[in-house]
Structures are given as structure tokens and as C-alpha cells.
A and B are shown apart, each in its own frame.
Chain A
Amino acid sequence: MATTADKPKIAEIPTGIKVDPVTLDIIEGALKSARYEMDAVLFRSAMSPVIREQHDEFPMLTDPRGRMVVGQFGAYITEMMEGWDRGVYPGDVILTSDPFKCSGSISHTNDWLVLVPIFYKDELIGWASQFGHQMDCGGPLPGSLPTGAKTIYEEGLIIPPIKVVEKGEIQHDVLNLILNNMRIPEMNRADLFAIVAGCRAGEKRVIGLCERFGKETYLAALQQLLDRTHEAMKTLIQFAIPEQPQYFEDYIDDDGLGNGPFKMKLTIWREGDHAFFDWTGTDPQALGPINFYLSEGMFKMFIGIYLIMVNDPQILFNDGFYPLLHIVLPEGSLVRPRFPSALGCRTHALARMFDVLGGALLKQAPELNAASGYGTSPYMLYSGWNTKGDFFYSMEILYGGIPGRPVGDGMDGHSWWPLFENIPTEYLEAYYPMRIDSYTTVIDTGGAGFNRGGNGVEKRYIYLEPGEVSIHDDRWLTRPWGVLGGEPGERSKKLLVRTDGTTEKLPSKCDNVHVEPGDMLVYQTAGGGGWKDRLVREPERVVRDVKFGLVSREKATSGYGVIFKGDTLEVDAAATAAERARQSEVRGPVENFSYGPPLEELLANCLAETGLQPPKKATQLRWSPLQDGAEALALVRAKDNLPDPAAK
């Protein structure tokens, strides 16, 4: 039995030491490279293509108190270790996949989060942590992301924080219990140990730094790094966040169960040095699995990245500025769903969160902002048993149109999430019973703009064995918006073509679509919105797009007002000027944001335009009432000790 004696001796952060600035910079650099080393080790030894090719994983190193000093997501260790009574020893490895037990630092059960305590001599001096997306974690469907799940229990095994390795000893019973629930246990096992290997790499670096600079200097440096980011962010917040509240809202089309659309609304304002990000006005949580249990820490990190990127991109992302940001997440909303809500398909809300955040932060200066992109992580999953009787299962993330940006056109068919990569056709064909008939971007799907939105992609899968297909996508009903005279991008669609030539329009979220050999799925993702006035784009850039097959001649005229001489690609300058003037007249002054037709119209025309039934307004879940926004805000003020200025 563990006792209080098993509580680790947590190293004190020395207060009297002032680390010289150069040593501080050196430790900062060493921590950054440690982080990259954690990534490198994981990529090279992981099995899951989602981690390895698509880089769906996140490393972090913390100080003794669990505050992140380097990494990409916020700290959760303090909360997670509250009430932990199993002791912490050198050589331990703690594993969890339960979003509700780590403040949402992982957002669905596929993410396996590993914690490794770092000891120097006999003291706990920090934690190395990393999580990666497992291809499967059990449950009713391969991939563990059923689009029809109504609770988290349908999303595979939920692992609470447990030790899989204690004092260096693998806990075989526990590991066997876990792996026994997985469809491809050897892959989960490999990926788990790859994640652990990544953490160990970080651990080694931290111990090395203590040996080199002394533990006291190292720990004092961590505090100063946190302070440095805190001070830098204070300046940025003053500069970037207005005192007057401003909001932005956007939608997720449906929840996979026919309910929707779901509104996400974010209001931001500043009080002195402190900034508020308030999700009040966001719709109640969904019955289906599109809920996004938004981690406060991770959201603060996202905000920080937006603000830091434009100033000193070499600033270390860490927890130092967290006390300056205050996040209001009403309980029972889409971004703070209650246990045991289903969370599997949260990528739509994750992507929309960035759309809304970008929109709200830059509403007063939209020319600094990009438009919005394909707005999700489109998945295609395919599984079955081949003629030899072996189980096969493939999962792929597709990409789409990157929005038009201040620096240029949005990329066609690229990933909005950094470092994700597509899976080579030759890899898919060598390993899975499928053939890729074509892989291309779709002409005219990017919104017209001075800088064009990127085109969405189309991938045609021909299935070679009987099996079941799942699809996860969004933006089939609402469009990715354009800014300042840029048009919205085109919507996504899916078509199944059977061998006898009959076709079926598939919804953007579905499971258990049975396919037979020779059936073809035509998977199209959304395009990106355009940036600034489409009618002033230089005609030569329009011509180039037409030559490249990215924009049609018709769209050159309808979207950009460019008129060609006869059948040539030579621009008729006079006719173009006249056409542009005409279109400009019809359109009137440019709007800051253009969303396409209003929601009511989209819903009314849904069946006619998409071949799919419109989603129905969701009914409030009886077991998860929506918390009042003012109450949620008051609780945040109380917790963060920031009184309401209006109450004075």
C-alpha cells in the first residue's frame, strides 16, 4: 500500500539565484532541442501512420511543480496528480487516455498520454510527457471514433491514470489487460513504447542540464524562463486585445446524428493586463461525438502562439503567461461537455475554434487575418477481412483548401495543422486492399479573392476487398468564409459509385458503409475562403491558375471578372475592366466577412443542393444543462482573483 511516505521529494525552486542571461539563453536553447529530440525519437520508432506520417503527437517538459517549460500544450500535471496515491518513483511511467481526468489535455480516448517523472539524485525535478494518437483503442468500431457514439463508453477503452511501468518494471498484467482490448495490440504496444522512448529522451536531457549547470541553477532558470514569457506576453496582450468586448461566431454543420448546426461563439476583452476569452453563447453540448473538451491550458497556448508568432517567434512557449489569460467555458457547452459525453470526433470543433479565435482576435483589423479554410480533419477509415482471413484497417486524414492569406494564395490541398503529411498512394496500395484512382485538387473550389483560397482535394478510392468505410468531415453545409471581398470556399461532398454505376451521396459523417470490390468512393474536401477583393487580383495570376487547371475559364470571369480574347488565354484588358466595374457595381461595397448565403437559406435548400437531409435543431440534453455564462464568468473571476470592475 502506498503511504504518504511515497510522495516524492519535490525539488524547491530556489528564489535567491539570479541566473546570468547567457546561461538562461543556453538552457532555453537546450530545452527547445530536447523537445525536438522527443519528437524525432517518437517519429522514427512509432508504427501508427497517424503519429509517424501525420505527426499527431505532442511533447512537453515541466518544472517540478508540473508547469510546462517547453512544449505545445498546457500543463495538466498538477490537476492530474491531485489525489494520486500510488507514489511516484524513478523509473515510473504513468499512462492515461481519459480526457475527463486530465483537464482535457487529451481530447479523445485515442490519445494516449504518458508521464515520466524526472528525478535528479533523490528529488523530483520535473516531468517529461508526450501523447500520441493511437490508430485504434478498442470499442465497437475500428478506429474507436464512431460517428454515432452518444457516450464516451462507445469510444474504446478509457484508461484512467495508471502506472504501466513502476520503478522500471513493466506492469505486465495491466498492460495485457489494456492490449487485450485493442484490435491491433502490437501497434498499440509499439506506439506506447515509442512515446515512452520519446519521454526518456527528454528526461536524459534534463538530467544532463542539471549535471552541467547544477540543479539549483537549472531550476532557477526555469522560473526565469516562465517569468520572461510572462513579461513578454503582458506587452503583447496590451497591444493585441482591445478593452471593448468583440466576438466572432461560426458553425459546425452537424453532430453525425442529424442534429445541427452547432454554434461556437467567442468573446474577448481586456481588463488592464488581463485578457478574457469567453465562450458564452456557444451551443449546448451535442448528443453526437463532436464535443470538444477544451483544455484551458491548451487554449491559452493556442492564443499565445497566435500572439507570439508575429513578434519574437523565438520566444519559448511555456506556462509563464497563463496567469494573464482567463478562459470562460460554460459547463454543458460544446467546448466544456460533461462526463460521459462522446468526444471522438472533436477535430471539427478544434479546427472551428481556430477560425473563431482568429476572427475574434483580428476583427478590428481583418486585413491582418487570413480567411477560413477547409476547417476540420477529414478522415477516411476502411476495414475488413481479406481473402486470407486477415484483418485489415486503414485510416487516413485528408486535407483541403488553405485560406487566402496576407502573404499570398492559400495552398491547394494542404494541411492546416502543422507538419501533417498525406500518405503516399504507393504506401496505401502496398499495404491495404485499395487502389487510388486519382488524387488531385478540385478546380474552382477555392474562394475567389485578391489572394485566392486553396482548392479542396478529391481522392478516389477503389476498394478491392469487401469491408466497411467510415467518413468524418464537415463544411458540407456552411462554407469557409472569405474576408474583405474574398468569396467563401466551396463545400465538401462524398459520392459512392458502385460497380454497376449506381451512385449514392454519403453524409459527411457516417460509419458502416459497406463496400464491395470495385466500389469507388469520391471524397471531396472543402476549399478555402478568399482574401480581399477578388476583382483586383492581377489578371496574370488568374491566367496562370487557368493554365494550371486550378481555376476554370468560366470562374475566371464569374469570380475575377477576367475576359479572354476568344478561345485564347490572352486577357482582353478593356472588356475585363468593364466586367469588373459591372460586378463591383452589382456587389456594392466589400464586407469584412463573407459567409455565403445565410443559414436559413442553406437549411432550406439543403436537400436540393447537397442531396442530403438538413440537420435538425438539437434538443437540450436532460443530463447536462447549460451553465449560465454570467455564472461561469463569475466563477472564473473568483478563482483567478479578478473582481468585476463594474461591481466597484
Chain B
Amino acid sequence: MAYRLGVDVGGTFTDLYLVSDDGKRFRVKTPSTPADPSQAVLTGVKRICSEAGITVADLDNFMHGTTVATNAVLESKGARVGLLTTLGFKQILHLARSQTPGPLAGWLIMIKPDPPALLSDTAEIVERMDARGNTITAVDTAKAEASIRALVEDGVETLTIGFINSYISSKHEEEVAEIIERMYPGFPVTLSSHVLPEFREYERTLTACMNSYVRPKVQSYVDHLSSELKALGATCEINILRSDAGLMTAREAGRNPIYGVLSGPSGGVAGALYVSTRAGFPNILTFDMGGTSTDVALCQDGAPSIGRETSISHFRLRVPAVDVHTVGAGGGSIAHVPELTKALRVGPESAGAVPGPAAYGRGGTLPAVTDANVVVGHLPSSLIGGEMTLDVAAAHAAVKTIDDAMNLGSTENAAEGMLAIVNENMAGALRVVSVQRGHDPRDFALVAYGGAGPLHANAVAEIIGSFPVLIPPAPGLLCALGDLVADFRDEFARTYIRVIEEADSTEVATILDGLGARAKKWLDDEGIGQDVGRVTYNADMRYHGQGYEIPVAITPDEVRNKGLGDLDERFNQLHEQLYGFRMPKTRAEIVNLRAVGFGSVEKPELPEGVDGGSADSSHAIASDHTMIHKGQRIAAKIYDRAKLVPGNVVPGPAVVTEFDSTTVILPGYSAKVDKFFNLLINKA
């Protein structure tokens, strides 16, 4: 019997999901241990194995989403990084892109964080490469040795090499890496040309430095977890989830941890996509609404959209990541009314975990979104299987302050107002990933999870028209499920800047073959069999002179047999779809060529019932209830989700509760239970 374990470490809870070949499933939720996240993981592993009646040695796969790298960046607790730059570019990180924030006079209040490598830990190396990869000045070895020695002896813990034009030739960076290895064998070094062989020196150097910055932390976490698991008898490998929802081995995570910097949100997207695809909805918008922030993403044809850039803290990093858009609003966001305008604003301040929303009864008095949900009856005061009861009176008192400031007629009106504002913000976030990228949200289903997602999803979908709303069973487990269903993934890219008429199709095909060969070698090295490995190719393209590229699918054989005409046409079509126009007279240009290797892992079976059951859901009614809707007090019902079976239809207005989540179905809508126990909300 094979057992596979998905482990997701979140800010509050660590979720574990264990699946066996014969369809048995176990789940454990345990409080996270931020000081040493592996403690919660190990506690959870022991518990879940004992619940399943197996030993740790029985685990065949261990898939892990971790925020160790994320937190190191957010909390500025990384390693002391030394940086080696080209002569004349020592201040590359200090100058950054010279940008100050908007609006006008934004510079007045800008706070500029220290970059991952300080100027005092940066040294210039005498060397220079031109934009075609020719050496202008060779590496001055003696001077390089002196600089390296000075930095290492002064105490830098890791070194990064970031030279101008190394995207076109990594020769000089590799020469200097060899010098370091000769001087200090085994010293951790990150080469910008290896982490990100793409042009734009600041982004490449920053990304490489950030890799160095988080590397010792991630390395030691992974090593520690591996050895602790081994001590418990584990024989399986640990795999870590990347920001682009692919998996990497622990070894790779120790070397290039920057690829996992957004491991957390990508797990949720992978899980949501898996669930929705099986339910017949390969085109989805994901809606993960938590306490302080909300992540949304778009997935098309069963695949997440992968961006080339992602932001964390104040830094924009060039690493492939699920194109997640984050807004700083969630269930804990606090409403306020500025004196000057008397407008109703929700967020960005959040009640956080302590004191939390007023309804939590931990001393919070400011009106949070959660309180508004309590006031309108979307969150019943006691939840089935829930750990705590909510303080309805405190929620009312908090929300009343908004009515006092704005004269909206009643506390209930104020609560509805707060929800309307926050739902609008959520709809705005979903528009960013859909409309702004050339997609119509009405062509997508909305998959909601996270603590507050299912509470707001119906109302948000009403604004943007994304139906059905899909609420998977146990929405809190989606990230751990995502860890379990992710495939191995890695990218191999090369910058190749040519306008399409000047590009030689044979050369393009040869480069793609070379990148493909590297992808295949990687699959072999990782022990991924031919039967489950595959390689796809794309070219980043733009009109000559534009600054942003669009990835266009391509294969070496197509290029070899048919030339580059098809590629040109495909790019023009995509441009028109995204921006509404094409420029037939302007030459298209290739910027990067890329091979992406995938190694698929076996997917767990999800609970599956038999379709065609009765629509009648009255057996699952837990109690009568009232809700506030558009100023009216209306009769509703509370349902126990555990009792719902495929085929049941829950008519709105209703609240469906389960262990870790509450779903609201608005008047005029109903939710059907599909055979995978998902709730599908549609207009009644």
C-alpha cells in the first residue's frame, strides 16, 4: 500500500492530508510553530500516521509547502550576503530601478528597505562582457581573490555573483565561482546567470541575492526536517512546492530556494485547480480570502497562469510564480470613516490575530469584516464543529460605530455597507487577473477557499458574473491537497533577442533542443521516468521595441519544419486578445526561449459519491435562521454540510457550515452538491 502525505504550513495552522492508494484519507490540523515550523510538521506527521494506523516508514511521498523562505524575506532574517559585481556597478542594488512610488510627491514618504546585500558587503570585480557575449575585459584573478578574501573574512555567509551581460554568457561568473570554490571549497555561491539567465541586470542580481539571502535558512530547515523524519523512520524524499505550483526536490530547494518563495499561495491554486478540473471546470478564478489578505489567480484550460515576476515585501523578483494578485483585505480588515470625507473605507488596517475582530471576544472593539458578517447573519454565533462561539453583541457594538459616524439608518445597514465595500475590493482584485489580462470573468468558475472565501464568494460572483461558485469540501485543506497533486517542474531558459525575420529557424530549433535536453537530463537526474515526464517549450515575444513579453507556445519540430511564420501569427493573435490591437507592419521579436520540464505525480482519488441523488436537502437542516439582505430581515436555514450528499440542492438564503468553513448562499441562488461533494452555487 502506498501512502502519500501533503503538508502545508500556514501562518496559523499546519494542515496535513494523507491519502492511500486504496482511497483512504486522513486529515490533521495542528497549530503552526513559527519559531521552528518543523515542530508542528513533526507533531502532525506522528498524529496522522497513528490515526491511519501506519508508521512513518510507510510514507512513500512527502510533499511540502513551506513559508520558510517567504518569512525570511518578510521578517528580514536572512543570511549576510556578499555581492560581486562588474567594475562600475557596485551600487546596482542601491540604485535599484530609481523608482519612487506614486502619486506625485510619493517620494516624501517612501521608506527604502536595505537590499539583501549591503553596499559594504559588495565588491567590484575587474571583468566585462559585451551584449553579444564577447569578453571586453577578462577576469582579473588576483584582484578577484583579494576581494573575495576580504568579504569572506569579514563574515559574509554566502556570495552572489551578478555581472553585466551574464545572461548572454555565464563564462565570467563561472570563472569567479571557480575561484571561490578553489579558495573556500563548499562555500555557498549563487550565480545570477544560473538563477535567472534573462536580461535586466538589476532584477537578475536582486533575485540571485535574494536566493543567497534565504538559502542558509531554507537549507537548514530542509536538512533538519529530513533528519528528524529519518529519525522517526521515514525513508521517503521530501519534495517542496515551488511558487509556480511545481514540485522540486529538497536538494534543489536547498540550492535555489528562491523558486519556492511563494510556495504557500501556489499550493492553494494547485489544489483548487485539481478539484475544479475534476468537477468539469478547467477555467477558474481562485478566491482565497484569509484574515488579513486575499489571493486571487486565474487558471485556464486546467493550468494556472504563470507570471515571470512576483513581489515580496518591497522587492520585485523575477521568478516564475503563479500569477497571484494579493490585496490587503480579508475577514480581519477594519472599517473606518475618515473625518474629512465621511466615506466608508475598509482596510488596510487589520484586527490581526490579536485582538482579532470584536466577535472573537478577545478584546477587539474596532469593526472588522467578520463582525459585519456576524451582524447580517452570514456567520452564525456558534458553528457546527467549530472551536469557538462568536460574541454577537460585541460585533453589533463595533459595527454600530460605523452607523454612528455615517448615519446609515441602522447597524445592519452599516454591516451591509461594509460587506458591499469589501466585496467590491475583491471583485476589483479578480478583475486585475481577468479583465486586465484580456479575459472575461463570466467565462470562469469561481473557486472559493480560505477562512472567509466561501462567506463572500456568492456576493463577489454576483458582481463579476463568474458562475458557478465552487466550494470544495474542507476548503481549509486545499493547500495541503495542492501539495499532493503538484507535478515536478523546472525551467530552462536562454535570452535570444532577434526580430523574427532575422532569427534563423534552424538556430532557434537547435537552442530549443539544447534547452529540452537539459530539461530531460533534469528529469532523469530527479529520477522521473520517461512515462511521466514531458517537456513543453515557449518563446517570450513582443513587438520590436516593446518592454513586456508574452509567452507563446512553440516546439522545436514545428520551427524546424515550418519555420517561424506560425510563431509570428500566434504572437499577433495573442497580442490582439490581450490588448485589443495588432500591428501587422511592426516586426515581432523573440526575447527568451524556454523549455519547461514536467514530471507528473500520481494524483490521489478524491471522495466520490454517486450522482443523481435526490434534490431534497431537508435532512441536513440544522436550524432556522435569519439573515439581513438589502435592509430586510429574511428567513433562512442553517445546513450541516457533513449531511449533504450528491444531488442535494440547497436553496438560498442559506448558511452551510462545516468543520473549518462557512458558506453563504444568497437569496435567488441555490447550491447543488456534485458527485465530488463540491457545492456549486448558481442562480436559482
Measured in the bound complex, the distance between the Cα atoms of B489 and A114 in whole Å is 45
Contacts of A414 in B (CB 8 A): 95-96, 98-100, 107
In the complex, B435 has a CB within 8 A of chain A: yes
In the complex, B561 has a CB within 8 A of chain A: no
Contacts of B432 in A (CB 8 A): 33
Chain B, 546-572, CB within 8 A of any chain A CB: 546-548
A394-423 interface bits toward B, Cβ cutoff 8 Å, 1 = contact, 0 = none: 000001001001111001111111111110
Contact status of A306 and B105, CB under 8 A, knowing A45-B546, A422-B98, A425-B164: yes
Contacts of A406 in B (CB 8 A): 108
Contacts of A399 in B (CB 8 A): 98
The residue that A426 contacts in the complex, of B118, B200, B417, B575, with Cβ under 8 A, is B200
Whether B575 pairs with A418 at a CB distance below 8 angstroms is no
Chain A's nearest CB lies how many Å from the CB of B311? 15
Measured in the bound complex, the distance between the Cα atoms of B420 and A30 in whole Å is 12
In the complex, A120 has a CB within 8 A of chain B: no
B101-132 interface bits toward A, Cβ cutoff 8 Å, 1 = contact, 0 = none: 11111111111100000111000000000110
Contact status of A314 and B428, CB under 8 A, knowing A414-B98, A425-B89, A426-B201: no
Interface of B is mostly: loop
A507-518 interface bits toward B, Cβ cutoff 8 Å, 1 = contact, 0 = none: 000000000000
Chain B, 133-182, CB within 8 A of any chain A CB: 136, 164-165, 167
In the complex, A200 has a CB within 8 A of chain B: yes
Measured in the bound complex, the distance between the Cα atoms of B89 and A460 in whole Å is 11
Whether B579 pairs with A426 at a CB distance below 8 angstroms is no
Whether A418 pairs with B104 at a CB distance below 8 angstroms is yes
Measured in the bound complex, the distance between the Cα atoms of B164 and A438 in whole Å is 11
In the complex, A237 has a CB within 8 A of chain B: no
Chain B's nearest CB lies how many Å from the CB of A461? 12
Which A residue's beta carbon lies closest to that of B90? Answer: A440
Contacts of B343 in A (CB 8 A): 21, 24-25, 28, 228, 312, 314
In the complex, A271 has a CB within 8 A of chain B: no
In the complex, A53 has a CB within 8 A of chain B: yes
In the complex, B237 has a CB within 8 A of chain A: no
Chain B's nearest CB lies how many Å from the CB of A43? 7
Chain A's nearest CB lies how many Å from the CB of B327? 11
Chain A's nearest CB lies how many Å from the CB of B546? 5
Contacts of A317 in B (CB 8 A): 103
Chain B's nearest CB lies how many Å from the CB of A230? 11
Which B residue's beta carbon lies closest to that of A411? Answer: B112
Which B residue's beta carbon lies closest to that of A548? Answer: B119
Whether A314 pairs with B345 at a CB distance below 8 angstroms is yes
Measured in the bound complex, the distance between the Cα atoms of B580 and A550 in whole Å is 47
In the complex, B545 has a CB within 8 A of chain A: yes
In the complex, B543 has a CB within 8 A of chain A: yes
Chain A's nearest CB lies how many Å from the CB of B410? 13
B68-98 interface bits toward A, Cβ cutoff 8 Å, 1 = contact, 0 = none: 0000000000000000000111111011111
Whether B108 pairs with A370 at a CB distance below 8 angstroms is yes
Among the stretches B217-225, B359-367, B581-589, the one at the interface with A is: B581-589
Whether A26 pairs with B424 at a CB distance below 8 angstroms is yes
In the complex, A84 has a CB within 8 A of chain B: no
In the complex, A495 has a CB within 8 A of chain B: no
In the complex, A243 has a CB within 8 A of chain B: no
The residue that A440 contacts in the complex, of B88, B108, B201, with Cβ under 8 A, is B88
Measured in the bound complex, the distance between the Cα atoms of B103 and A72 in whole Å is 9
Contacts of A305 in B (CB 8 A): 103-105
Contacts of B417 in A (CB 8 A): 21-22, 25
Whether B579 pairs with A197 at a CB distance below 8 angstroms is yes
Measured in the bound complex, the distance between the Cα atoms of B436 and A40 in whole Å is 7
Contact status of A426 and B167, CB under 8 A, knowing A26-B424, A232-B340: yes
Whether B131 pairs with A312 at a CB distance below 8 angstroms is no
In the complex, A41 has a CB within 8 A of chain B: yes
Chain B's nearest CB lies how many Å from the CB of A271? 22
Chain B's nearest CB lies how many Å from the CB of A454? 10
Whether A429 pairs with B101 at a CB distance below 8 angstroms is no
Whether B107 pairs with A418 at a CB distance below 8 angstroms is yes
Whether B338 pairs with A312 at a CB distance below 8 angstroms is yes
The residue that A430 contacts in the complex, of B90, B92, B101, B199, with Cβ under 8 A, is B199
Total interface residues on B, CB under 8 Å, equals: 72
In the complex, A47 has a CB within 8 A of chain B: yes
In the complex, A540 has a CB within 8 A of chain B: no
Contacts of A385 in B (CB 8 A): none
Measured in the bound complex, the distance between the Cα atoms of B98 and A416 in whole Å is 9
From B103, B109, B112, B545, residue with most partner A Cβ within 10 Å: B545
Which A residue's beta carbon lies closest to that of B575? Answer: A45
Which B residue's beta carbon lies closest to that of A413? Answer: B95
Measured in the bound complex, the distance between the Cα atoms of B118 and A548 in whole Å is 8
Whether B101 pairs with A418 at a CB distance below 8 angstroms is yes
Whether A426 pairs with B338 at a CB distance below 8 angstroms is no
Chain A's nearest CB lies how many Å from the CB of B498? 11
Contacts of A101 in B (CB 8 A): none
Contacts of B236 in A (CB 8 A): none
Whether A309 pairs with B428 at a CB distance below 8 angstroms is no
Whether A190 pairs with B421 at a CB distance below 8 angstroms is no
In the complex, A380 has a CB within 8 A of chain B: no
Whether A197 pairs with B581 at a CB distance below 8 angstroms is yes
Measured in the bound complex, the distance between the Cα atoms of B106 and A402 in whole Å is 11
Chain B's nearest CB lies how many Å from the CB of A47? 4
Whether A47 pairs with B546 at a CB distance below 8 angstroms is yes
Chain B's nearest CB lies how many Å from the CB of A244? 25
The residue that B100 contacts in the complex, of A190, A402, A549, with Cβ under 8 A, is A402
Whether B420 pairs with A190 at a CB distance below 8 angstroms is no
Which B residue's beta carbon lies closest to that of A412? Answer: B94
In the complex, A564 has a CB within 8 A of chain B: no
In the complex, B408 has a CB within 8 A of chain A: yes
In the complex, B497 has a CB within 8 A of chain A: yes
In the complex, B378 has a CB within 8 A of chain A: no
Whether B165 pairs with A429 at a CB distance below 8 angstroms is yes
Contacts of A379 in B (CB 8 A): none
In the complex, A623 has a CB within 8 A of chain B: no
Whether B98 pairs with A413 at a CB distance below 8 angstroms is yes
Chain A's nearest CB lies how many Å from the CB of B408? 7
Measured in the bound complex, the distance between the Cα atoms of B202 and A21 in whole Å is 45
Measured in the bound complex, the distance between the Cα atoms of B90 and A91 in whole Å is 52
In the complex, B578 has a CB within 8 A of chain A: yes
Contact status of A33 and B431, CB under 8 A, knowing A46-B546, A424-B200, A440-B90: yes
In the complex, B344 has a CB within 8 A of chain A: yes
Measured in the bound complex, the distance between the Cα atoms of B663 and A323 in whole Å is 49
Chain B's nearest CB lies how many Å from the CB of A72? 7
Whether B88 pairs with A309 at a CB distance below 8 angstroms is no
Which A residue's beta carbon lies closest to that of B89? Answer: A439
In the complex, A187 has a CB within 8 A of chain B: yes
In the complex, A457 has a CB within 8 A of chain B: yes
In the complex, B614 has a CB within 8 A of chain A: no
In the complex, A94 has a CB within 8 A of chain B: no
Contact status of A416 and B586, CB under 8 A, knowing A22-B421, A232-B340: no
The residue that A407 contacts in the complex, of B99, B109, B425, B579, with Cβ under 8 A, is B109
Contacts of A437 in B (CB 8 A): 88
Whether B200 pairs with A441 at a CB distance below 8 angstroms is no
Measured in the bound complex, the distance between the Cα atoms of B105 and A528 in whole Å is 15
In the complex, B232 has a CB within 8 A of chain A: no
Chain A's nearest CB lies how many Å from the CB of B347? 10
Measured in the bound complex, the distance between the Cα atoms of B13 and A74 in whole Å is 50
Which A residue's beta carbon lies closest to that of B408? Answer: A21
Whether A438 pairs with B87 at a CB distance below 8 angstroms is yes
A19-48 interface bits toward B, Cβ cutoff 8 Å, 1 = contact, 0 = none: 001111110111001000100110111111
In the complex, A248 has a CB within 8 A of chain B: no
Whether B341 pairs with A420 at a CB distance below 8 angstroms is no
Contacts of B99 in A (CB 8 A): 414-415, 419-421
Contacts of B200 in A (CB 8 A): 424, 426-427
| A197-B579, A354-B104, A547-B120 known, 8 other contacts, Cβ within 8 Å | A29-B421, A30-B428, A189-B586, A309-B109, A312-B343, A420-B98, A422-B95, A441-B95
A to B CB contacts below 8 Å, 5 in the list: A21-B342, A21-B344, A190-B546, A426-B199, A429-B131
* 4 nearest A-B residue pairs (beta carbon): A438-B88, A418-B102, A22-B417, A548-B119
